[in-house]
Amino acid sequence: MRVWLVRDLEPIPTDHGNPRLLRAGMLATTLASLGHETTWFTSSFNHYSRQHRETGVISPQENLMIEVLKAPGYSRNVGARRLVHNYRFARQFLEVARASKQLPNVIIADLPTTDAASAAVRFGLEAEIPTVLTIRDLWPDFFSDFMPRPLGTLARFASWPLNNQTKFACRHATSLIGISEGYLKWGQEKGNRKSIAYDRISYLGYLRPPPIALHEFTEALRILNIPLSGHVISFVGSWGATYDLSLVLQAARLLRDRKDITFALAGDPSTRPDLKRAFQKLPNVRLLGWIDKNQVAALLSRSDIGLLPYTSNAPQGLPNKIFEYMAYGAFQISTLSGEAKDLLQQTGTGLSIPSASSAEFAQAIETVVDDANILKKRDQRAAVFEARFDARRIYRELVDHIVRVGQK
């Protein structure tokens, strides 16, 4: 089967630094490995490094071509330049698609972005090609929900073109995929869908790399300045506005006299310089910057706790971080409510304390590291991941679904 995948904003296999592939990357490589001729359309701008890629076609493995389309990029995640970038990428895709002499059997796109999602679905309608749309973030509702009330009302009015794009894509996609039950329901309601026969849930999952040798593990920890004894409490992610890292800062301050506890925070802190300076003053904190997937593996294998400190109005339902932490058996402490809280409770892989104070957050950390019964169940938590959320299983099942849609 010939498949097109339209997805910007993700690392591609040839990016510098051995990047960890996200959903589109894992899906593209799975499709290709199963013999499907896969073309992944992305932009020349690397969302994470803020660097530009060369335009053109890359073939990192058999059956996979990555077509890098020129787009301007941006410096801030929210702003006019970001909107221009999204528009230009979508227009570039449509130009290439309409000029293509060899069309696919099925087109896959993600939301976000609204521009790319609506462009992919629109071309599918034009060319009578079935489309699969995955709801990964609640765009553009996220913008108005995340802002203070007066600005939220303004954002809702200003984002009506994006909302129309979302409605169009959700209404006309052949198949709608939600990364959680709530996300799927949101997409179905947004599109007022008449047919849901091909709609389904497909969790993000996580592709855990092969175990590294003991000497590589200890060397990675040495480079990261992570102690080999005591308890390690980790956060791995961006330092975006949806993360309440000030909560982690206050908890670290409250626990600074616990010499057996070390906080390790991965991700680029440059966007939040005040927090960075405050963390640097604490002897029980390690700021790691961006780390590669092998370093992530070493860090999380060493961590007793993985933190999910989201703000009260964060839009995340079931973020990828849940499955990443679970893959290594780290016990999770979250501030999310809803589906994330339910999943952690049902699987026994963590706890969630919505609207936690810094004292409550610190107390939860201390309670976990002092409970030998929780700590010794690392293998059980990892087994839950293997059985339900391993990306190899999830994406093979998703490919089977895509094939059914493509044969519709």
pLDDT tens-digit map of 9-18: 999 999 988 7
Q: Domain of residue 25: give its range.
A: 2-207+390-406
- The HSE-up count of residue 148 (CA atoms within 13 Å, CB side) is 2
Residue 31 has pLDDT above 70, yes or no: yes
The SS3 of residue 4 is strand
CA dihedral sign of residues 285, 291, 293, 295 = negative
Q: Are residues 305 and 169 in the same domain?
A: no
197 with 218, same domain? no
Residue 146 has pLDDT above 60, yes or no: no
Average pLDDT, the chain: 94
What CATH number does residue 63 fall under?
3.40.50.2000
CA distance 246 to 176: 36
User: Residues 95, 243: one domain?
Assistant: no
Residues 75 and 218 in one domain: no
Residue 363 has a pLDDT of 99
State whether 39 and 170 are in the same domain: yes
Is 232 found in the same domain as 189? no
Q: Residues 360-373: pLDDT tens digits?
A: 999 999 999 999 99
How many domains is the chain built from? 2
Give the pairing of strands 106-111 and 131-135: parallel
Can you tell me whether residue 127 is helix, strand or coil?
Answer: helix
Q: Which amino acid is at 196?
A: I
pLDDT above 80: residue 148 = no
CA-based nearest residue to 252, from 233, 268, 238, 237: 233
Q: pLDDT: is 393 or 78 the higher one? A: 393
Question: What pLDDT band is residue 383 in, cutting at 50, 70 and 90?
Answer: very high
Long-range Cβ contacts of 283-292 (<8 Å, 24+ apart):
283/256, 284/252, 284/255, 284/256, 284/258, 284/259, 285/252, 286/224, 286/225, 286/226, 286/262, 288/224, 288/264, 290/17, 290/48, 290/266, 291/224, 291/236, 291/266, 292/17, 292/18, 292/19, 292/20
Do both 56 and 135 map to the same domain? yes
Q: In what order do the strands lie in the sheet with 350-352?
A: 285-289, 261-266, 231-236, 305-308, 331-334, 350-352
Assess whether 351 and 397 both reside in one domain.
no
Q: Could you tell me if 162 and 101 lie in one domain?
A: yes
Strand partners for 175: 132
- For 396, the 3-state DSSP assignment is helix
Q: Around Cβ 6, how many Cβ atoms within 10 Å?
A: 29
Same domain, 192 and 295: no
pLDDT band per the 50, 70, 90 thresholds, residue 202: very high
Angle between helix 149-158 and helix 160-172 axes, rounded to 10 deg: 60
CA distance 7 to 40: 7
Give the DSSP letter string of 263-332. Answer: EEEES-GGG-HHHHHHHHT-TTEEEEES--HHHHHHHHHH-SEEEE-B-TT---SS-HHHHHHHHTT-EE
Winning range, highest mean pLDDT, from 19-28, 122-131, 137-146, 290-299: 122-131
pTM of this structure: 0.85
Q: Are residues 128 and 241 in the same domain?
A: no
Residues 189 and 279 in one domain: no
Q: Can you tell me the mean pLDDT for 69-89?
A: 91
Rounded to an integer, the average pLDDT of 65-88 is 92
